[in-house]
């Protein structure tokens, strides 16, 4: 890490605190994971700006504040088995993996799935397991999960995901159509009851079904 990048990281952490991120474990992990590894070389000078950035397949790596906020709202424990839908660059998965026991992540774009899988190996994030597929169906063989995070906006909350949560489990997901204001929503399962709490307004790429084999 060079000094310029270190300075920018310090500034970002200060900004996240100002924006209300209080969970010290989340802030420590943001400090630990090298965001520059998850973006294209020409964007690396912007790695610690509090902004979303473009990645392959016309997708985006979320703004650090949104990553920190959603992670904080998930209320992770070290013992948890967690599912993420929308691997993308792999950055959010890397953050989650440091705060739980095992992290499973699903991506529907093959090039993104492949590059994130290689990056997890390079960064020695051995508790992450990746899958190329449609995450709206969750991950049947690995369910149930203590926590689920979805990083693409669904017009509705997929039922399959709700029922792959453990009793007492929590899901954090952006909800809303592309042409309306989306909100991060936190859902807590108690038996077959799902308590839904609407949190921040956000802008996410869409949660789509089907799989895509190329970047065209
Ligand atoms: N967590 C990512 C954010 C990437 S953007 C990161 O930290 O970089 C959201 C991602 O969700 C995109 O890569 C998109 O292809 C993926 N996605 C959208 N719908 C999906 C689905 N049904 N199953 C799996 N991935 C999906």
Structure tokens at 179: 């042409």
Segment 29-85, tens digit of pLDDT: 999 999 999 999 999 999 999 999 999 999 999 999 999 999 999 999 999 999 999
User: What is the phi-psi region of residue 138: left when phi exceeds 0, alpha when psi lies from -120 to 50, beta otherwise?
Assistant: left
At 6 the pLDDT is 86
In a domain? residue 139: yes
Task: Write down the pLDDT at residue 2.
Answer: 66
Determine the average pLDDT of the residues in 15-24.
97
Q: Per-residue confidence at 214, pLDDT binned at 50, 70, 90?
A: confident
The torsion defined by the Cα of 95, 97, 98 and 99, in degrees rounded to 10, comes to 100
The answer to the question of residue 44 being in a domain is: no
pLDDT interval class at 215 (50, 70, 90): low
Answer whether residue 40 is part of any domain: no
pLDDT at 5: 75
Q: Residue 92 belongs to what domain range?
A: 52-202
Per-residue pLDDT of 110-130, as tens digits, reads 999 999 999 999 999 999 999
Distance CA 199, CA 216 (A): 34
Among protein residues, the one whose CA lies closest to atom 4 of ligand 1: 88
Q: Assess if residue 37 is contained within a domain.
A: no
Residues with CB under 6 A from ligand 1: 59-62, 85-86, 88-89, 91-92, 106-109, 112, 134-136, 151-152, 205, 207-209
Pocket test for ligand 1, best of 30, 57, 59, 150 (most atoms within 8 A of CB): 59
**Minimum CA distance residue for ligand 1 atom 17:** 86
Question: What per-residue confidence (pLDDT) applies to 83?
Answer: 99
Residue 45 lies in a domain: no
Confidence of residue 4 (pLDDT cuts 50, 70, 90): confident
Residues 99, 128 contacting (CB under 8 angstroms):
no
pLDDT for position 136: 97
Q: What is the mean pLDDT of residues 88-98?
A: 98
Phi-psi region of 64 (alpha: psi -120 to 50; beta: other; left: phi over 0): alpha
- Find tokens 């088995």 and name the residue: 81
| CATH code of 98's domain | 3.40.50.150
Q: How many domains does the chain have?
A: 1
Which active-site residues does the annotation give? 62
Residue from 105, 108, 116 whose mutation best tests the ligand 1 pocket (most atoms within 8 A of CB):
108
Q: Report yes or no on 24 lying in a domain.
A: no
Among the residue ranges 5-9, 143-147, 156-160, the one predicted with the least confidence is 5-9
Asked whether the predicted pLDDT for residue 216 surpasses 60, the reply is no
């Amino acid at each position: 890490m060079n000094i310029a990048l270190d300075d920018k990281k310090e500034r970002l952490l200060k900004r996240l605190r100002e924006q209300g991120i209080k969970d010290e474990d989340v802030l420590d992990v943001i400090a630990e994971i090298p965001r520059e590894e998850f973006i294209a070389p020409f964007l690396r000078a912007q790695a610690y700006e509090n902004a979303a950035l473009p990645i392959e397949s016309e997708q985006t790596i979320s703004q650090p504040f949104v990553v920190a906020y959603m992670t904080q709202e998930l209320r992770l424990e070290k013992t948890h088995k967690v599912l993420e839908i929308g691997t993308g660059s792999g950055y959010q998965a890397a953050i989650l993996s440091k705060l739980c026991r095992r992290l499973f992540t699903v991506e529907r774009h093959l090039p993104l799935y492949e590059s994130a899988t290689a990056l997890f190996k390079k960064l020695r994030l051995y508790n992450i397991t990746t899958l190329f597929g449609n995450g709206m169906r969750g991950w049947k063989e690995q369910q149930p999960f203590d926590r689920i995070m979805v990083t693409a906006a669904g017009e509705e909350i997929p039922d399959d995901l709700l029922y792959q949560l453990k009793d007492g489990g929590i899901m954090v997901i952006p909800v809303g159509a592309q042409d309306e204001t989306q909100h991060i929503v936190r859902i807590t399962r108690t038996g077959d009851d799902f308590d839904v709490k609407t949190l921040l307004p956000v802008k996410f790429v869409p949660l789509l079904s089907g799989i895509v084999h190329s970047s065209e």
